[in-house]
Amino acid sequence: PLIEGLQGRVGDADWLRGPHIIATAKHFLGDGGTLGGKDQGDTQVSEADLRRLFAAPYIPAIEAGVQSIMVSFSSWNGVKMHGHRPLLRGVVKDRWGFDGLLVGDWNGHGQVPGCTPDNCRQTFIAGLDMAMAPDSWKGLWTNTLAQAKDGSLPMAVLDDAVRRILRVKLRAGLFEAARPSQRPYAGRFDLLGSADHRAVARQAVRESLVLLKNAGSVLPLKPGARILVAGDGADNLTMQTGGWTLTWQGTGTTRADFPNGQTIAEAMAAEAKAAGGSVTHSADGSFTERPDVAVVVYGETPYAEFQGDRTDVGFDDTGEHLALLRRLKAAGIPTISVFLSGRPLWVNPQLNASDAFVAAWLPGSEGGGVADMLFGKADFTGKLPYSWPRESDDTALNTGDKNYDPLFAYGYGLTLKDKGELAPLPETRATPSQTERDTLFAAGRAGAGKRLLVGAPGALAAGPGDDRITARGADRAAQEDSVQLRWSGRGEAVAAIVAEPPLDLATGGAARALLLDLRVDTPPSSDVSLSIRCGAGCSGSIAITPQLRAAARGQWTQLSVPLACIVKPGTPLGAIDTPLSIGTAGTLGITLSGARIVAAAEGAACPQ
C-alpha cells in the first residue's frame, strides 16, 4: 500500500504521473541486522537467514512496481553491499527480474575495497546504476568516463546502468513533463500543515502510543485537575520530531521552524482548560501551587543513522528527570512519564518512579495526539512494534531469539481497562565500558551520559546556540561526524561537555590528559581558556590561545593537555561534572571531531 500510495498502481493511467512520485525500497540488504547493531557494519548470518529475515520484503515491493532500490552501506559476511555483485546483479537484477535502478547511499561506493569516493568502477561492475556522490561527483564523473574509454569499465555495464535510469525517467514522464512550478500541486503551500493532513497525523499519534504502566488507574487525567507539566521534552518540537526533520540528525531546529506544530505542553494546556482544569508548565518541575498530578515529558535528543549508534540499550537521562520523578513521588504527587524516543530503551528506574508510563515515540508536530490519550479522549490501542529490553545490555530482543526474555514482549500494550500495576524492577545498569566513560565527544555527538551545551556562562543550553556562539554539524570522515563551533565576539561564550552522572577520575586522574581532535577555522582574536569543573567551588583552567593561533588553519590537528596542567595538585577528581569547557569573549572558529580522556604522555609539558 505504501508504494502504491507513492507511485500509484501499475497499469493505471496515473502510475508515476500526476501527484505520484518514484518510490525507493531500502536499504539493501541486511542493514538492520549488523553485528552489535552498528551502523554501516557487517551482517553476519547465513544466506538462508539473510533471505528469510531481510530479503523477504523486497519481493512484494518489486511486484508492486517499486522503481528504485537503495543499496546499504553495510556488509554481508565481510563484503560491502556496494560491491556485492552476486546480490546486486545476480539476485536483484537477474533472479528477481528487477528492471528499475539501483542507487547508492552517501558515498557508500567509496567503502568498497580499492575504491575512493571519486573513483570506483567496481561498484558499477557489481550492479550499482547510480552512485550517490554529493561532494565527489566531479572526480567520479572524470574517472568513470576515463574507465569507459579505456575499457576497464565494460560498455555493457555502462549501457545497463544508463538504460535503467532512462527507463525510470521515461516511465515517470520526466521528459515531457512541464517545469516543476507548473506541475500538479506546485505552489500549493497551503497544503503543508493543512487541517486535513494534521488530523491524519494526530490520529496516527493516538494509535501509536503504547501504555506500559498505569498503576492505580492514574490515567486518564481527571477533569478539573491541576496538572504540572515538566521535563525538557514538554515544550520541545525538536525532541518530538526527532532525526531526519529539516536537518539530517534533526538537530539545530527551533520552535519557529514548526509554525503549524503543537508541543505537548501547549496541547495539554488547551485540553486542561477545555476540561475545567489547569496546567502549570515548568521544565524543571518547580511549582508554587501543589498539583494534583505531574506529567513529565523526557527522552532522547534527536539522532539519525551513525550518530544514533549506542553501546547498549540503556537510556541516558542527562536531564535529571529520574531525580524529578522521585522527588514528586516522595511528595505524594502521582507521576506520569511520557517517554520520547525512536526505539525501546532500558528505563527501569524511570518505570519504578512513575505511576503511569507512556511510550510516545516521536509524535512529530502533533502534541495534541498525546494530550488526547492522557485525557482519555480515546483508549490506548498501540502495541509494541519492538520488544522492550529487560536489561541495559539486552541483545536477544527478537521473537525467536535464543534466551528471548524481554521486559515487555513484542505486541505488548495496555488499555485503560487493564490492570496497570507493575512490580518493582531492578535498577542496576550494566557497567559502562572504560572507553564509554572516557569518550567525551565522538561521531558528531557527546558521549554516553554527556551533553554538548553552548551559550553564555551560567546560561548554557543544547541546540544551535545564540548570537554569541553557534554549533552546527560538520563533516570530517563521515557526514556530520563533527561539530563546528563559532564564537561571534559579542560576549563571553562557552562550549562545554557536561557529564551526568559526574565522571569519577579519582584514581589515576592526575596522570591523564584531555585529547582533542580539532581544526582551527578562524584563529582566536582574544584569550581562550580550556577548563574543567568538579563540583561547586572546584574547577581548573588553562589558556590554549597560543596553540590555537599556531595551528595550521583548516588542517586537522590534535591538542593534548594533561589534567595536571588544568587543576591544582590535590584537587578532588571524583566528581567531574564538566570534563571539557572552551570559552572566549573574542571571535573563534573551530571544528571538533573528537574529545576523550587518555593517559598523559610521560613527561608531557603544559601548554605555554
Q: What is the CATH number of the domain that holds 280?
A: 3.40.50.1700
**Integer Cα distance of 265 and 271 in angstroms:** 10
Pick from 183, 311, 299: nearest CA to 241: 299
Pick from 491, 483, 489: nearest CA to 443: 483
DSSP-derived 3-state class of residue 601: coil
- The pLDDT of residue 280 is 97
Contact 608, 546 (CB under 8 A): yes
Are 90 and 137 members of one domain?
A: yes
Q: How many helices (H) and strands (E) does the chain have?
A: 16, 24
Are 300 and 210 members of one domain?
A: yes
Whether the ω angle into residue 84 lies within 30 degrees of 0, i.e. cis, is no
Residue 453 sits in a domain of what CATH number? 2.60.120.430
- The pLDDT of residue 304 is 87
Crossing angle of the two packed helices 195-208 and 367-374, in degrees rounded to 10: 50
- With 70 as the cut, is the pLDDT of residue 61 above it? yes
Residue 33 sits in a domain of what CATH number? 3.20.20.300
Mean pLDDT of 256-273: 96
- The pLDDT of residue 132 is 97
What Cα–Cα distance (Å) separates residue 313 from each residue in 33, 310, 341, 404? 16, 7, 12, 15
Contact 588, 525 (CB under 8 A): yes
Mean pLDDT of 544-555: 95
In a domain, 209, yes or no: yes
Whether the ω angle into residue 220 lies within 30 degrees of 0, i.e. cis, is yes
Residues spanned by the domain of 304: 195-374
Are 453 and 505 members of one domain?
A: yes
Q: How confident is the model at residue 249 (pLDDT cuts 50, 70, 90)?
A: confident
- Measured over the CA atoms of residue 124, residue 130, residue 134 and residue 138, the dihedral's sign is positive
Q: Which single residue is written with the C-alpha cell 493532513? A: 197
Number of residues that make up the chain: 608
**Which entry of 105, 232, 316, 317 is annotated as an active-site residue?**
105
What's the number of domains the chain is made of? 3
Are 48 and 176 members of one domain?
A: yes
Asked about 159 being catalytic, the answer comes back as no
In a domain, 407, yes or no: no
- The pLDDT of residue 431 is 63
Pick from 112, 17, 100: nearest CA to 62: 100
Which amino acid appears at position 158 of this protein?
Answer: L
In a domain, 293, yes or no: yes
- With 60 as the cut, is the pLDDT of residue 313 above it? yes
**Integer Cα distance of 575 and 577 in angstroms:** 6
- The pLDDT of residue 570 is 80
- The pLDDT of residue 252 is 80
**Integer Cα distance of 390 and 427 in angstroms:** 10
**Which entry of 31, 129, 266, 305 is annotated as an active-site residue?**
305
Q: How confident is the model at residue 435 (pLDDT cuts 50, 70, 90)?
A: low
Whether the ω angle into residue 29 lies within 30 degrees of 0, i.e. cis, is yes
- With 80 as the cut, is the pLDDT of residue 432 above it? no
Of 357, 374, 391, the last residue of a domain is 374
Are 153 and 288 members of one domain?
A: no
Of 355, 374, 393, the last residue of a domain is 374
DSSP-derived 3-state class of residue 524: coil
DSSP-derived 3-state class of residue 434: helix
- The pLDDT of residue 71 is 98
Of 374, 408, 426, the last residue of a domain is 374
Asked about 309 being catalytic, the answer comes back as no
Are 151 and 268 members of one domain?
A: no
**Integer Cα distance of 298 and 232 in angstroms:** 6
* Helices within 300-414 (DSSP H only): 321-330, 348-352, 367-374
- The pLDDT of residue 389 is 96
- Chain segment 131-185, per-residue pLDDT in tens: 999 989 999 999 999 999 999 999 999 999 999 999 999 999 999 988 889 888 8
- With 60 as the cut, is the pLDDT of residue 282 above it? yes
- The pLDDT of residue 177 is 87
- Expressed in percent and rounded to 5, the helix, strand and coil fractions of the chain are 25, 25, 50
- Chain segment 572-585, per-residue pLDDT in tens: 888 899 999 999 99
Are 158 and 199 members of one domain?
A: no
- Chain segment 321-367, per-residue pLDDT in tens: 999 999 999 999 999 999 999 999 999 999 999 999 999 999 999 99
**DSSP output for 122-161:** HHHHHT--B---TTTHHHHHHHHHHHHHHTSS-HHHHHHH
- Chain segment 108-136, per-residue pLDDT in tens: 999 999 999 999 999 999 999 999 999 89
Pick from 301, 303, 387, 388: nearest CA to 348: 388
Task: Sheet with 79-80: list strands edge to edge.
Answer: 42-43, 75-76, 79-80
Strand partners, 420: 214
- The pLDDT of residue 608 is 75
DSSP-derived 3-state class of residue 566: helix
In a domain, 605, yes or no: no
